[in-house]
Amino acid sequence: MTSSFSSLLDEREREWRHRVTYFGFYVTIFLMLAAMLYTMIISNQAEGAMRGATMMGALAFVGTTIPTAMLAWTLPDDDPEDLLEESDHA
């Protein structure tokens, strides 16, 4: 749902996507600020830039997966009977 086109989603799905994307954006901003401060602190140490860049990359990955993880955690599971009916018709 987080990567679908808006025209393919109904109003409820668009609202969920907007809510988790908004939250994920703010978490990513917070993580990047923490990474920036950490990089500034270790900038004079050996390989400080590499350590900071690695941390920023890892935190950017975590930040971009937050909306999908939140939707996966909060959306109800599919009904197994619906899945069986779809495979019978295929």
Contacts of 10 by beta carbon, 8 Å cutoff, 6+ apart:
none
Q: Is-contact 88 52, C-beta < 8 A?
A: no
How does DSSP classify residue 38?
H
pLDDT of residue 16: 83
pTM here? 0.66
Q: Is the pLDDT of residue 79 over 80?
A: no
More confident residue, 87 or 29: 29
Q: Is-contact 19 75, C-beta < 8 A?
A: no
pLDDT of residue 82: 64
More confident residue, 2 or 70: 70
Over range 6-27, report the average pLDDT.
83
| Average pLDDT score, the chain | 81
